[in-house]
Amino acid sequence: YPMEMIISFQLLSTVLGSSPTAQDACLSLALMTLARRSIARMGYAALICLCALPVPIILYFTFYSMWLETGNGNANFLFFQCLAYNLFLGFITIDFIAATVKRDKALRVTAKKENITIAKVDSM
């Protein structure tokens, strides 16, 4: 699964990158739509994290302008928003990789069963 590997590496580089950007997350999530079979095996935790992802992004921009422009914000708020952003992306990444592994396992089991039944039919 070369496409799933590319998507997984892009998601991991987004989560583990030194500076989190919304562009990396948008690219990663857009690439995820190419792996429909893996997305179908993802759980509800990834869907909840995907729906909650705009909250830390919006709050990050709000606290960024409060802290740097007006001078009355706190850097801990920015840290928390970056932490929540990376946490949500981490859950999505782990769930996508687990869904891809589940898909691969299901294909291997199905292929193994088909080989066994073909061997039994051939021996008769």
Q: What is the pLDDT of residues 13-45, one digit of tens each?
A: 999 888 778 888 899 999 999 999 999 999 899
Q: Which of 11, 23, 1, 3 has the alpha carbon at shortest distance from 96? A: 11
The helix (run of H) or strand (run of E) holding residue 67 is: none
Quick: pLDDT tens for 102-112.
Answer: 998 888 888 87
CB 100 within 8 A of CB 38: yes
Instruction: Return d(Cα 44, Cα 103) in angstroms, integer.
Output: 17
Q: What is the pTM of this model?
A: 0.83
pLDDT value of residue 117: 64
